[in-house]
Amino acid sequence: MRRFALVASVLGLASVAHADDPRDVFGLPPKKQTKPESEDVRDVFGFGKKQGQEKVDCSDGTGFPCAGSTDPLDEHASPYSLVAWLSGPYLLSLPVADATHDQVANYALGATRDEAGVVIGGANGLENRWTIEGAPADNVRTGAVGTRVPLAFLKGMRVTVGGFTARDRVSTGGMIDAELVDGTDDHQVEARAFATWFANRRQRKIAPGSYFVRRGTVDDGPGGSFSVVATGPIGDLAGGTLKYVAGVAPELSATEFRFRSATITDRDNDGMPDGLPGVVSTEGIDQIDKTPLTYFAPWLARLQWSRGAHSLDLSFVGEASNDVFFLFNSTLQAAGVTARNFVGDGIATWRGTWTNTRARAQLAWHRQMRHEFATDPAAENIPQLLSAYVPTTLPDDPLLAERCSDDNPATDRFPNVPNCPVPVSWFFSGGAGQLSDVTGDRPSVTADIAQRIGNHVLRAGGTAEDTRLVTETHFTGGVQIRSLFPTHMQERRFADPAQICHPDVGESCPTVDEFVTRHRTRYAAAYVEDTWQASDDIAVDGGVRWELMWVGPVLHFSNEWAPRLGASWDPLGKGRSRVWVSMGRTYAMLPAGLGSTIISRPKTVDRIVSQFGEGRSVDQGAVIAVASDVKPIAQDELTAGAQFAVAETVLITTWLQGVWLRRGLDTTTHGFDNPGRYGGTPALRETGIFATEVATAPTAKTVLRIGYMYGQTIGSWTGAFDPRQGAVLYAGSDYDASSVNQLGILPTDIGHRVYVEAQRTGHIGGVPLTVSTRLTAGSGRPRSVIGDSDEGIIFLIPRGTAGRGPVTSQANVRLASRWRGLDITLDLFNVFDRRDPTNVDEIYAGGIIRPIDHGESTDLVFLKTESGAAAVRRPTYGSATAFQAPFAAALGIHRSF
């Protein structure tokens, strides 16, 4: 389920494919026993095969208990990478229902989540590189995951959280590479179906002193999905063999929107709304429920041809989906916007495999499209009205207009107060307003070669990406109207970008119905790398990567040099262990969405008419100028760790990671620049992480994976995403005012994190049963105290020093059994229905206030305005704005053919 992206942790269960053999669940061959189970003590405790029972291939490093690749020519081979291989069959054995790969990538050691995605190495969820079969599949506009791959389509994914080599295509976060299901030698079909149910969400409390004409709540409704994946041979072609993979995984779900409108009351007729200064008392007008259906339909098609040393893969993977959004302080006609989305990747990869040489060439194209339109067809072709009052006539909501009217003494029950004031923001009516069509394209080309020469493996390669983002924006009805009072009208249109718009009413100002912006980024890289096998158990790898990162014609970083070096020792030999150390530099991959800050944005003109006359206001679409001599975002990393296989049944991993972001990019008072170049706090981020994990064989009767992490992230810069501001794309507000107190604990500081995955297969009364769990617990997010001052947003005390949120924990369970050839599963998410806050309102006060330099929480009671008056604490400060997802259940069936 897509909604499980917000589930911070999961606990899982394996489906039982056969009454006696859980290995079928993982798509692995039957176990081979040298003795009957009754004579093998390992089977008594469920810990799988004993040493020497089965030879494990560690050539690509994905087998258990491999600590690394034994084939130095393998394209993923690295003696020092902090990488986790999460196989598709293993993930499907956990209670993930119909999840996609981005929702479980944080299961890797060293990874957590924020609202934007996977958090790695102190970076936020928009700083990772997402690839499919090595081809870039990031969201063109933001850099988040672009193409979501259902686990049913997944062979496995590599999550690399550190220790990057020169060949790695990485930004300032991590790398997540999805490998798709391969074709098979015989025809096979895997079919799954799920029915899901969700408890109601925990809702935000109504803030004291606040009122909206119409409020709303959102809950997840029931849903269902199924997936079918077929694999098999096609036949011989051009002297080689041709195989296919085809799959679909559609999902249909409901979302329950509830709208409640109300008037304020004044039963004592004192001219003040009842309830103040607490929660305002209201009297209901109506309650309306809407339950739109949304769909998510992924698809996969692959052709795989191989002949001798050559192989060619043609892969097409993508999704079609829709989203529905509603405003609440609005008429229902004007409230809804629906978006249809399409995301697709075409990937062609040739590989050559010889004894001492490996080569790869890849062409790929990533496309994403989004089309927005009014949910209510009646709102598609009429202007939207944003008013600071409820209009006396509302053709789309006459009951609301009647009950909110203050003009009829006969029906006005509380004449001493306005019935439906609009104290903040706007009330929306009429059309759907501003809508956009967005098209993004990213063609890419990649080539690599590796050559063994004696004890050395020399590598060289290069890649290029050309990203284009086109946004077409229009207003329904061609205009958007704003009104502060009934005799005031401000009509907004898009000005013609090719002509001059004069601010004087008497001069010309040509307009257009649709404004188009085009933003382009270019990324190129080349590398050389040498892996020296100093002895059978010692390897040294070093290389340098050159990168180019351009954003339109205004921001060019053409010489980003990234040296990367590491060494490892395999004391146990044959890939069963490694002790390593590494260092390296990375640079940020900048998304095309940054173009709206530094390249172009819509140009608008407002015609203002009131009893005071007519005027014109022109927004020329000015952007933030890029400062001269600006430098790229640069980050350095150092890692050290060890990994050992114990008796081929347990793999122990422990490592340390230090990450230092040397400089960032953001909007400042000097333009788009490296903050701190002209004084003040520079944009810094420093992260230290300790991580350890103990894992047993995923094919044993008892499976355990236990991990612990402790990390601290200190700095002054949150990057492309801030939990308070959202996806700012390096255009946040932190450096628009004072930088005092910005240095502190950042939101990506993970504190303590622990997870436990456990699976056990057996029988109860002759019925095969599998139970598995994933338990997680972690420190709450650091909290800050913010002021909304006359100069902008400021940190009243050092960032992140106002304590932490509550410990976030979650327990999910799967129960599975087999009946007449069907695997039946029941996934229970958030079994104990924990609904702790995950984010809070951090704005403490507003007005003409200043930071308390190096202050503490106890100093806030002394905060004063510039006039000397005590600052007024906002009643919403510290109130929860987001919560853990509630309890949910998914009933599933699985059948193999």
> 447: which residues sit within 8 A by CB, 6+ positions away?
359, 360, 361, 362, 461, 462, 463
Report which residue type is found at 406.
D
Token pair 């990538």: residue: 105
Where is average pLDDT lowest: 44-48, 146-150, 716-720? 44-48
- Nearest alpha-carbon partner for 497 in 474, 479, 516: 516
- Nearest alpha-carbon partner for 531 in 786, 240, 827, 166: 166
Task: Write out pLDDT tens, residues 375-386.
Answer: 999 999 999 999
CA 395 vs CA 191, 402, 559, 883: distances in Å: 50, 11, 60, 37
CA gap 620, 864 in Å, rounded: 38
Q: What is the pTM of this model?
A: 0.91
Question: pLDDT confidence of 42, banded at 50, 70, 90?
Answer: very low
SS3 859: helix
The helix (run of H) or strand (run of E) holding residue 714 is strand 702-715
| 842 pLDDT more than 80 | yes
Task: Write out pLDDT tens, residues 645-658.
Answer: 998 889 999 999 99
| 616 pLDDT more than 70 | yes
Average of per-residue pLDDT values in the chain: 92
Tokens of 176: 């997540």
Instruction: Please list the alpha-helical segments (H only) found in 211-354.
Output: 332-335
| 362 pLDDT more than 60 | yes
CA gap 335, 325 in Å, rounded: 8
Report percent pLDDT > 70 for the chain: 94
SS3 895: strand
Residue 8: the pLDDT is 35
162-166 mean pLDDT: 97
Question: pLDDT confidence of 3, banded at 50, 70, 90?
Answer: very low
Cβ 2 vs Cβ 888: under 8 Å: no
| 848 pLDDT more than 80 | yes
CA gap 347, 358 in Å, rounded: 19
585-590 mean pLDDT: 97
Task: Write out pLDDT tens, residues 202-244.
Answer: 999 999 999 999 999 999 999 999 999 999 999 999 999 999 9
Give backbone dihedrals phi and psi of 593, rounded to 5 degrees, phi first.
-65, -20
Token pair 């230090």: residue: 658
Cβ 131 vs Cβ 137: under 8 Å: yes
Task: Write out pLDDT tens, residues 176-213.
Answer: 999 999 999 999 999 999 999 999 999 999 999 999 99
Half-sphere exposure of 727 (CA within 13 A, CB side): 17
Residue 7: the pLDDT is 34
Cross-strand pairs, 17: none
SS3 631: coil
Cβ 581 vs Cβ 639: under 8 Å: yes
Question: pLDDT confidence of 803, banded at 50, 70, 90?
Answer: very high
SS3 377: helix
Task: Write out pLDDT tens, residues 99-131.
Answer: 999 999 999 999 999 999 999 999 999 999 999
Task: Assess whether the previous peptide bond of 22 is cis (omega < 30° from 0).
Answer: no
| 51 pLDDT more than 90 | no
CA gap 734, 747 in Å, rounded: 14
Task: Write out pLDDT tens, residues 80-91.
Answer: 999 999 999 999
Residue 355: the pLDDT is 95
Question: pLDDT confidence of 54, banded at 50, 70, 90?
Answer: low
Task: Write out pLDDT tens, residues 519-548.
Answer: 999 999 999 999 999 999 999 999 999 999
How many C-beta neighbours within 10 Å does residue 320 have? 16
Cross-strand pairs, 290: 257
Tokens of 390: 């409820």
Give backbone dihedrals phi and psi of 477, rounded to 5 degrees, phi first.
75, 5
CA gap 888, 832 in Å, rounded: 10
Residue 58: the pLDDT is 87
Exposed / middle / buried, residue 636 (Cβ in 10 Å: 0-12, 13-18, 19+): middle
| 627 pLDDT more than 90 | yes
Burial call 729-761: b when 16+ CB within 10 Å, e when fewer: bbbbbbbbbbbbbbbbbbbbbbbebebbbbbbb
Residue 53: the pLDDT is 47
Residue 10: the pLDDT is 32
Give backbone dihedrals phi and psi of 333, rounded to 5 degrees, phi first.
-65, -40
- Nearest alpha-carbon partner for 13 in 96, 88, 78, 69: 96
Cβ 517 vs Cβ 508: under 8 Å: no
The helix (run of H) or strand (run of E) holding residue 89 is helix 88-92
- Nearest alpha-carbon partner for 860 in 741, 763, 770: 741
Report percent pLDDT > 90 for the chain: 86
| 746 pLDDT more than 80 | yes
> 39: which residues sit within 8 A by CB, 6+ positions away?
none
How many C-beta neighbours within 10 Å does residue 399 have? 11
Residue 701: the pLDDT is 83
CA gap 175, 659 in Å, rounded: 15
Token pair 């506009």: residue: 141
Task: Write out pLDDT tens, residues 453-478.
Answer: 999 999 999 999 999 999 999 999 99
CA gap 471, 516 in Å, rounded: 6
Residue 503 is classified by DSSP as S
Residue 820: the pLDDT is 86
Cβ 242 vs Cβ 303: under 8 Å: yes
Burial call 482-518: b when 16+ CB within 10 Å, e when fewer: bbeeeeebbbbbbbbbeeebeeeeeeebebbeebebe
| 71 pLDDT more than 50 | yes
